[in-house]
Amino acid sequence: MKYLEGIFKGRAGTLENTVFAMLTPDGKSYLARPGRSPQFAFRGPTEMAEAMKQTAGKYPVKGEPSVVPAMHDFRLSLNTAACDSMPLVVAVGGGEALLVKLAWSAELLGKYAYAPVSTPQDLKAAGITVASPGIYAIEPDTFGQKGAILAQWPLTADTAAITKGLLDAQKRHNGEGKIARQHIQQGTQLGVLWKSLLPNTDPNGPKR
């Protein structure tokens, strides 16, 4: 939270509900104007995409990826996947190297969100029961608090077979986006509550 406040604060001098920044690989310099959204720096998605391509060309990849592009834990990863209307991939009981290989493969880029290696207890808290270690494709519920298994493989499965299976499972995913106002209204009516690790300091955000 302190780091994000250092990038952008709202008019009230507090952290608001969104922060946008493009940083150099060392995380110390801005490559675009930071703000609440990309609209602070770009006039539209086409201009942003072109700027990102040009910027990426200045920083060629060095070596192979070694980290799973995941959130802090399974709970937050599931919620983020639901926010982005994406299915989630999680390795249970090990398999981090396999998960890294899957996440950064050309065939799967942009098709899944990822969670860090998790435990059966992590998934059970979201209403998902797993009987053994493995790679699991998860369908988040609308509000990202529960999930259901789309497909699964043992940690010893062939990478190509898992990749093909994930592509097939992605086709069964409910990828419809959300309309924010309707989504919030429905959540309020159903009494859905998300407990954030960070306090809500956005003066314009919903109080509940």
**Given this model, what pLDDT does residue 166 score?**
96
Q: Would you state the pLDDT for residue 206? A: 58
Give the separation between CA 88 and CA 104, rounded to whole angstroms: 14
For the chain, list the domains and their CATH numbers.
Answer: 2-56 (no CATH), 74-171 (3.40.30.10)
Taken in order 122, 151, 78, 64, is the CA torsion positive or negative? positive
- Tokens 């808290």 correspond to 125
User: Dihedral angle at the C-alpha atoms of 1, 35, 178, 116, nearest 10 degrees?
Assistant: -40
Instruction: Report how far residue 57's alpha carbon sits from residue 34's, in angstroms, rounded to the nearest whole number.
Output: 20
| Residue among 175, 176, 78 at smallest CA distance from 136 | 78
User: In whole angstroms, what is the distance from residue 55 CA to residue 49 CA?
Assistant: 10
Task: Compute the distance between CA of residue 16 and CA of residue 18 in angstroms, rounded to an integer.
Answer: 6
b/e per residue 90-105 (b: at least 16 CB within 10 A): bbbeebeebbbbbbbb
What's the confidence (pLDDT) of residue 174?
75
pTM given for the model: 0.84
CB 77 within 8 A of CB 115: yes
What single-letter amino acid sits at 89? V
84, 110 Cβ separation under 8 angstroms: no
What's the pLDDT score for residue 87?
96
- As a whole number of angstroms, the distance between CA 7 and CA 9 comes to 7
Spell out the residues 6+ positions from residue 67 whose beta carbon is closer than 8 angstroms to its own: 100
Per-residue pLDDT of the chain (208 residues; tens, 9 = 90+): 888 888 988 888 888 888 999 999 888 899 988 998 999 899 999 999 999 999 999 998 888 889 999 999 999 999 999 999 999 999 999 999 999 999 999 999 999 999 999 999 999 999 999 989 999 999 999 999 999 999 999 999 999 999 999 999 998 887 778 888 899 899 999 999 888 887 777 776 655 5
Q: In the numeric block, which tokens belong to residue 99?
A: 């998960």
pLDDT given at position 207: 57
